[in-house]
């Protein structure tokens, strides 16, 4: 055996000088282990984490940084500002603008798509009613006067007491027009479904 190699304590493994110096001085049922140093990238990552933690704790506990609650309030304020802008865009119903939209080539396709994506779960296929009222009969649960404008306003703000959500924060003005158009297109078809609810009103 050369001077560059030595045997382990178990006398069955040949080690060089470097490995011999790394061999720990204990033995478990003939099992020995080396004390290899951690990789440099791991060591520096660990050190970096400690340094980051020091600055993080100082910044958020002593330097006046916003708390999680403060950040939440700031983010909610930003969301509410976006909602307010959306409400301004959808706030005013313009009958002439609606009639112009109705003349569009894809108005009915858009109406069907908006209904399927947002209204179908409550009003069922074709508007025959499920959780929500039957849209195809002559009765109106939430309106006392029927016109495109009143339907638009109701869809926009909803009625939480009757389970109708407000769509003003979720639908664009054109999508609200599409929802109105779908209601107008199925009203009076009298599809078999949920029993009539509300009052019988004349549709304009």
Residue-wise pLDDT for 83-131, tens only, equals: 777 777 777 888 999 999 999 889 999 999 999 999 999 999 999 999 9
Q: Whole domain around residue 17: which residue ranges?
A: 5-36
* Ranges of residues in the chain whose predicted pLDDT is under 70: 1-15, 17-18, 20, 203-204
- 173 domain residue, yes or no: yes
Instruction: Please tell me the total count of domains within the chain.
Output: 2
User: Whole-angstrom distance between the N-terminal and C-terminal Cα of the chain?
Assistant: 107
CA 137, 172, 153, 119 dihedral sign is positive
Give the model's pLDDT for residue 201: 81
Both 25 and 103 in one domain: the answer is no
Domain membership of residue 58 (yes or no) is no
The answer to whether residue 156 is domain-embedded is: yes
- What pLDDT, on the 0 to 100 scale, is given for residue 1? 44
Query: Per the domain annotation, does 119 fall within a domain?
Result: yes
Q: What is the rounded CA–CA span in Å between residue 54 and residue 203?
A: 69
Residues 189 and 118 in one domain: yes
- The pLDDT, as a whole number, for residue 87 is 72
The long-range contacts involving 78-84, CB below 8 angstroms and separated by at least 24 positions, are 83/169
CA atoms of 112 and 179, how far apart (whole Å)? 8
96 and 196 fall within a common domain? yes
Cα 127–Cα 183–Cα 142 angle in degrees, nearest 5:
90
pLDDT at 193 (0 to 100): 86
Same domain assignment for residues 27 and 106: no
Q: Is 2 helix (H, G, I), strand (E, B) or coil?
A: coil
**CA separation, residue 71 to residues 45, 64, 66, 149 (Å):** 28, 13, 6, 40
Does residue 96 share a domain with residue 195? yes
One domain, residues 24 and 96: no
CATH number, domain with residue 102: 1.10.760.10
DSSP code, position 34: B
pTM: 0.61
Looking at residue 64, what DSSP letter applies? -
Same domain, 20 and 99: no
Residue 136 lies in a domain: yes
pLDDT given at position 63: 86
73 within a domain of the structure (yes/no)? no
Please report whether residue 71 resides in a domain: no
């Amino acid at each position: 055996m050369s001077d560059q190699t030595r045997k382990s304590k178990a006398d069955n493994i040949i080690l060089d000088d470097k490995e011999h110096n790394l061999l720990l001085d204990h033995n478990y049922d003939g099992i020995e282990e080396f004390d290899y140093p951690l990789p440099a990238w791991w060591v520096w990552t660990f050190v970096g984490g400690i340094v980051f933690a020091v600055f993080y704790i100082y910044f958020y506990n002593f330097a006046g940084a916003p708390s999680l609650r403060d950040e939440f309030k700031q983010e909610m304020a930003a969301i509410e500002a976006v909602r307010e802008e959306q409400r301004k865009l959808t706030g005013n119903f313009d009958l002439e603008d609606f009639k112009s939209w109705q003349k569009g080539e894809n108005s009915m396709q858009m109406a069907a798509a908006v209904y399927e994506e947002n209204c179908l779960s409550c009003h069922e296929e074709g508007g025959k009613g499920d959780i929500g009222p039957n849209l195809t009969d002559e009765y109106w649960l939430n309106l006392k006067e029927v016109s495109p404008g009143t339907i638009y306003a109701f869809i926009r703000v909803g009625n939480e007491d009757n389970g109708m959500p407000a769509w003003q924060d979720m639908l664009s003005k054109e999508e609200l027009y599409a929802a109105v158009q779908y209601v107008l297109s199925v009203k009076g078809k009298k599809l078999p479904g949920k029993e009539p609810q509300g009052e019988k009103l004349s549709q304009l």
